[in-house]
Structure formats: C-alpha cells, structure tokens
A and B are shown apart, each in its own frame.
With several copies, the nearest count.
Chain A
Amino acid sequence: MIEFCGIELEHQVINASGCFDVLAARQVFGEALVERFPFAAYVSKTVTLAARAGNPPPRLWESAGGMINSIGLPNPGVEVYLAHHVGEYARLGVPLITNVMGSSAGEFAELVERVAEREEVAAIELNVSCPNVATGLDIGADPRGLRDLLAVVRPLTRKPLIVKLTPNTADVAACAAAAEAGGADAVSLINTLRAMSLAPGGHGRPWLGGRTGGLSGPAIRAIALAQVASVAARVAVPVVGMGGVSSGADAAELLEVGARLVAVGSESFRDPAAGSRVAAELAAHFAENAA
C-alpha cells in the first residue's frame, strides 16, 4: 500500500489525465476492464464549467518517438460530469481524482466547490495549462499567477489539491514552490510540450485543427525526468511524475529522482493494459534491486 495525500493506493501507477476514457474502454473490453483495472487511481479527463466540443479535427500527429495532440479538452461540463460520470468512475474501486480547468481563478473556484461536494472524489487536480487571457501565457507558467490562484481555491476544500504544472516555463521548480506555498497538497508534471506539425503539401499550413498541439510520449521522457527531479528537489509535497513512461524501468527513474507516484499517458494508447504492465514491471524491478 502506498500513501498519497492521505489516500491509500494499491501501487504507484495511475493514469495521466485525458489518456484513458474508462467509459469507452469498458464498452470495448467489457467488465474485465473493471475487474482488472490497470491503475491504482483513476484521474478524470479535464472537466470545465461549460461543456466543450474540443478542437476541430485532425487532432493527432505522430512525431519522432511520440505524438502531438490538439484534442482541446472536450468534456460535457461539470454538471453532466457530476450527474453521470462520477458515479460510474466510483464503480472502478480505485480512488477518483477529478481534473479541472478554469480560465480564471473564479472559474477554478466554482469548479473546486462543485466537485468537492462529492464524496466519491478523493482529490482534485488543477490543470493550470490554460492560456491566461491577460498575459497570453499559461496560468501555470508564472509563480505569481499560481500563488494567486491557490489563494482563491485553497480555502474552498479540505480535499487534497494537486497542481498539474505546465512544462512550458523557464523554471518549473519555482512554479512548484509557489503552488506548495499556496497550500497545494501535491504537484503533478509534466503536461505536454507545445509543438506543431504541418499539413503535407508545403504551404506552412498547420495540420492540427488547434494549430499547435502538445507533444507526449518517449520523446519527452528526458525532459520530464529533468523537470520532475528539479521539482522534487525543491518541494516537500509529493510529486506525481509523468511524461513518456512506457515501462517499469522508466517509472523507476521518475521514482528515483523523487516522484511519489507515476502516471502513464500515451503508452496506454499503444497498450491498453500499460498501467498494470508498468506496475508489474516496477514491482519486479524493485524485487530485483532488493535481492
């Protein structure tokens, strides 16, 4: 058993937000999915106040050792989420972490208040990668913005708050420190790195409906390792490490540099059972190293 912000988890591997729609997966793989759920906790896809359709297609591009997505956070909005999804997710038998995003501190506050009402929700992850209207930067890209955000939302709930940091910043450790100072119970990283691909044909036209997208997968693992190490060295709160993990060895490295948990994102697209596989490989890895 692993303790994370007062939550008990079976092992150290959870899913990365937006990389495992459990409702669709259950339709495809049947109840086996619930019986052998691959992750120690379930992190929801990002929920926003109003419903979002997401970006126009195409939304995917494959790049060297990874992929770029411009999904654009499609979700049915917080009311539908609370009415229909939370109950389904609770059935999985693992703690539920709800990931939310607002485009202002006020929106975040409303989301946190609504979500915190629900007993099924074990923790709330704040996705602060939304562009700030005032600065043009991600809200989470500068420490001051993060401190201001937490000053507003921290008083609203006693549930653990996990701040999902953006990697598109000059000093991610300073952002993590700001989140911690503001009362965050944990931080998670890395989110995708801003990237672009062009439509074949040679006119410089972006391929993705969202123009730019986010890079994930093995290509970013070495960047994730550097950012997680620098954050874990700076803050005392637990760190959820992610970015390009595709094996137990990859997960072990994030733990070695100080992460408490590891999240698996894109690898689940290549292997729907990646969560359990990585957890098993991790257990074998530690058994070997202990021997």
Chain B
Amino acid sequence: MTTPFGRRVSAVLSRRLVGRYVVLGIGEEAAVAEPGQFYMLAAVAGWGGGVDERPYLPRAVSVLYARDGEVGFLLEDVGPGTHRLCGLGVGEDVYLVGPLGQGFTPPPPGIEAILVGGGVGIPPLAMFQDRCGGQALLGFRTSEHAEAASLFAAPELATDDGSAGHQGHVTDLLDDLLETRQDIVVFACGPPAMLQAVQSRVARHQVPAQLALEAPMACGYGACFGCVVDTVAGYKRVCVDGPVFDAAVLV
C-alpha cells in the first residue's frame, strides 16, 4: 500500500452533526481508503492546551467514507483530542497521515456479512455496508446516541434503556442470528467489552469474525510499538497488523 509519506495540510470541507456525533469531511485528493482503515488526525492550530495541557499526539480516527476527493470521519467528543477535532470549523487546517492499517476482508460470495457495532465504533461498518452490503446490528446507550444509526441501511437496533429498538445488548441480536445461521461472517467494532462478547459467541458457534480493535496509539504507522494487542503469535501492533484482526488469533 502506498500513501503519501508525511503530513499534509488540508482544509476542512464539511462538518455536520448526527445527533451527538460530528461528521468531519476533509479534502484529500486520493481518497482511496478501505473500510476498517484509519487516519491519524491533528488540528494545525490549537492542538494542545486542553485538559492537562493535552492533546500532544495525533488521534486515530476510522474512515467513514472516502470518495470524490473527500475523506469523512465520525467523531464523538470524549477528550481533548476529539473535542478539538469536533470543534474544527470549515476552512481550518488539519494534519493527516493515512489511510493506515489493514481493513476488513469482504466475505466470499454467498456468505452474508453481519455487522455488529456499538457507540462510536461504527464508521468502519457503515463504510463496509456502503461498499459490500450486509445486515447491521447496532447497540447504543440511548436513542439519542442511536442517531448515528442513520448512517446505515435497515439496521437493527438495541439500546441499554430500550428507548430505541430492542432493550438490551446488541449481542442479544447477534445471539438470535447465530442460533439459526451458519452462512455468515461477523464484522465487529466497538467497545472492548462488546468485542469480547462477540468473540466468545462466534467461537462457540464456529462462525468466522473480523474484529476492528482500538488501542492507545502514538504514531499509527508502526514506528513506536505502543499499540500492541496479544495474539496467538505474540504481541501485534494494532496500527499496522490491524486494526482488523481475525477473532481466532486474539487471546
């Protein structure tokens, strides 16, 4: 995979809200990312000086879409880095490196993709569905959080408080499916607890799954060895060996 070496500065082209989330579109001539890939992003101005004098490092953000000279991201304001990125105005500059990492591998013909996502971990799935189809099962805390489901075609929903869709976990929806179907591959991203729940379920039902992981990252391109996850083959870097891993290799 070849990508531009080093940082580039581009203007923000668009910014819109989906419920409590922000969609950020950035001009990027060769917008060629695969679902599951990510960029490292930092604002050019005002990066730093937030809570505890952060952010210092760029932030890993999954690609939501990549087309027509624009790459898009879905952000939730959870800390100093996402706060700054969510507040970017149209015309402001960002540093970006990417696309980075190994994305999802589409299923062979005849096998349906089941997309299991939660919270802000849905952009890779939305992009995947857009390109390869598949049934989305999405979990959120409340209906307010669930507004990001609008990025999907015909998703099934679960919310913790039952304010939208099934009351309970998204893995309940997956359980129902796994009881009846074997001709599927599961694609999942979301919080660690959700991914673990998916991993143990697919293992029990011997269904293949690809999990998109997150880890604290400094560089995003394999330079620092900071983002490792334990696998059957030892520690692997999430940024270059992932973020998508076969569920079977994760320990």
Contact = CB atoms under 8 A, between A and B. Distances in A.
B221 A273 contact: no
A69 B5 contact: no
Nearest to A20: B223
A90 interface: no
A272 B6 contact: yes
B248 interface: no
A53 B3 contact: no
Interface in A69-118: 69, 71, 74
Interface stretch (B47-55, B105-113, B142-150, B174-182): B47-55
A62 B2 contact: no
B222 A24 contact: yes
A147 to B, nearest CB: 32
A271 B7 contact: yes
Q: How large is the interface on B (under 10, 10 to 19, 20 to 34, 35 or more residues)?
A: 35 or more
B216 A63 contact: no
Contact of B215 (A58, A74, A276): A58
Contact of A57 (B58, B215, B221, B223): B215
Interface string B225-243: 1111110001101001000
B216 A61 contact: yes
A270 B57 contact: yes
A270 B42 contact: yes
Given A32-B2, A57-B229, A65-B56, A25 B215 contact: no
B223 A69 contact: no
Interface string B129-159: 0000000000000000000000000000000
A19 B42 contact: no
B95 interface: yes
B54 A62 contact: yes
Contacts of A29: 2-5, 221
Contacts of A276: 6
Given A24-B240, A59-B226, A218 B52 contact: yes
A271 B9 CA distance: 12
A33 interface: yes
Interface in B12-59: 42, 48, 52-58
Among A54, A56, A269: residue with most chain B CB under 10 A: A269
Interface in A1-49: 18-21, 23-25, 27-30, 32-33, 36, 45
B56 A217 contact: yes
Interface residues of A, number: 48
Contact of A19 (B3, B224, B228, B230): B224
B221 A65 contact: no
A131 to B, nearest CB: 20
A69 B224 contact: yes
A246 B48 CA distance: 14
A221 B95 CA distance: 23
B173 interface: no
B125 interface: no
Contact of A71 (B53, B217, B224): B224
A268 interface: yes
B5 A273 contact: yes
Given A53-B235, A69-B218, A272-B97, A25 B42 contact: no
B237 A30 contact: no
Nearest to A219: B53
Nearest to B58: A270
Interface string A215-230: 0011101000000000
Contacts of B4: 29
B88 interface: no
A269 B223 contact: yes
Nearest to A272: B6
B2 A272 contact: no
Interface of B: 1-7, 42, 48, 52-58, 95, 97, 100, 215-219, 221-230, 234-235, 237, 240
Interface of A: 18-21, 23-25, 27-30, 32-33, 36, 45, 53-54, 56-67, 69, 71, 74, 217-219, 221, 246-247, 250, 266, 268-273, 276-277
